[in-house]
Amino acid sequence: MSLRLNDIAPDFQAETTQGVIHFHDWIGDGWAILFSHPKDFTPVCTTELGYMAKLAPEFQKRNCKVVGLSVDPVESHFKWEKDIEETQGYPVTYPMIGDPTLAIAKLYDMLPAEEPGTSEGRTAATNQTVRSVFVVGPDKKIKLQLTYPMTTGRNFYELLRVLDSMQLTAEHRVATPANWADGEDVIIVPAVSDAEAKEKYPDGWKTIKPYLRIIPQPGKN
């Protein structure tokens, strides 16, 4: 089953480095990021987990929980975490899911449902599609999904940027233009009529085209 944006994120129970979690219950009423890795003790992923550990407070500020996943068992994750802290300088403070049966990787369409076997004997190349990011909203729906190539480290500042944009949209019914950064002008979404916009944005807006109305970012002076 292919997952699409605004599908309900599949729920699951899993063992993690911080105990068993029930995914939807664990998310609670906030946001969540599930980011997966094809194999423990791989070079690019080691740098990624370390950088996410560095930025974890930024995600916490945005009421967004973070959980990692690889198909290796939790016991392997504990050993890997030591390497991550040693080489990247930050301890991993978020949970890491062990998925040795490949169940969650298949549930999230990162591996084919008919993929045989367990994590034992598999390589990073075998699991290369298990290199995805899912952002899940408070409504438990998938708001973003990205799958990266094996050799390209993820840009976690981009994840923060997209999270800021989506949270702004959820609160103010605005969209963000290309290359937008926090604090820059935003776009009134077409679903908001001019009459509604006058009530919502009494200071007015700049009309480029009837469908392209620009205002300063709400909440920013």
| Residue pair 68/33 in contact by the 8 Å Cβ criterion | no
Output DSSP code: residue 42.
Answer: -
29: its two tokens? 């009423």
Rounded distance between C-alpha atoms, residue 8 and residue 24, angstroms: 10
Q: Name 195's Cβ contacts closer than 8 Å, sequence gap at least 6.
A: none
Distances (CA, A) of 139 to 28, 103, 143, 176: 9, 23, 10, 21
Q: Is 45 a catalytic residue?
A: yes
What whole-number distance in Å separates Cα of residue 201 and Cα of residue 8? Answer: 32
Cα distances from 62 to residues 30, 68, 138, 168, 215, in angstroms, run 9, 18, 12, 11, 23
Question: Which entry of 14, 27, 45, 215 is annotated as an active-site residue?
Answer: 45
Give Cα 136 to chain centroid, integer Å: 7
8 A C-beta contact, residue 71 and residue 122: yes
Altogether, the residues listed in the chain come to a count of: 221
Which residues participate in catalysis according to the annotation? 45
